[in-house]
Amino acid sequence: MKKEILQAVNDGVKAIEFLKTPASLKFMQDAVKLLAECFKKKGKLLIAGNGGSMCDALHFAEELTAQFRGPRPALPAIALSEQGFLTAVGNDMGFENIFSRGVEALGQKGDVFIILTTSGNSKNLVKGVEMAKQKGLKTIAFLGKNGGVLKGQCDLEWVVPGFGYSDRIQEAHMTAIHIIIERLEEELFSPKKKISAMIAKKIRAKSSV
């Protein structure tokens, strides 16, 4: 058993090590910029996933609406997870429509729709992305394996390859989410960032006179 546990630990480390790759670092950097811009313009996040990825979507939203590392203003984020809504749509319109209906109901131009999927093949997420595009939302995909049919369909995407099961992929996704939130808080609420923004605003005002 010890050998198997050590192998599992090594696989977990391998998943987290993937965050060091240039593509992973760029994705996190770009995601921070896109989300910061969304919040600065009074937009919100809609987040979706199935099973364990829905739990990660709830975690993502909770860290933003509550707080992460310390006190700061709440940030608007909604995980599409309300039981009454999901069961009503699933029962009456089909499970493949649960997320597209949620985006249709709550999404506005300027918002961001985030999907979490280890396969990239979930029909309800495919339809959710399609609806988000129709409504003018930006889209971000956390993917796994080969990216599935959702590969290349979103404004930003990150694929965690090399694992046959969802657990390691979800561990990498959650670590990236935590890092993105950490940097997002710095981007939006750091005193240095606020001072720099104020100076830039004054310079623009003077140059337009």
Q: pLDDT digits over 58-109, tens only?
A: 999 999 999 999 899 999 999 999 999 999 999 999 999 999 999 999 999 9
SS3 sequence of 152-201: CCCCEEEEECCCCCHHHHHHHHHHHHHHHHHHHHHHHHCHHHHHHHHHHH
pLDDT at 199: 47
- Do residues 109 and 135 make contact, with C-beta atoms less than 8 angstroms apart? yes
Whether the model clears a pTM of 0.75, i.e. scores above it, the answer is yes
Q: Read off the pLDDT of residues 127-180 as tens digits, 9 standing for 90 and up.
A: 999 999 999 999 999 999 999 999 999 999 999 998 888 999 999 999 999 999
Which pLDDT value is given to residue 209?
56
Task: Quote the pLDDT of residue 195.
Answer: 46
- Phi, psi dihedrals of residue 45, rounded to the nearest 5°: -105, 140
Q: What is the CATH number of domain 2-207?
A: 3.40.50.10490
What is the distance between the alpha carbons of residues 106 and 41, in angstroms, rounded to a whole number? 17
In this prediction, residues 11-25 reach a mean pLDDT of: 95
- Amino acid sitting at position 167: D
Place of tokens 């809504």: 85
The beta-strand segments (E) located in 67-118 are 77-79, 112-116
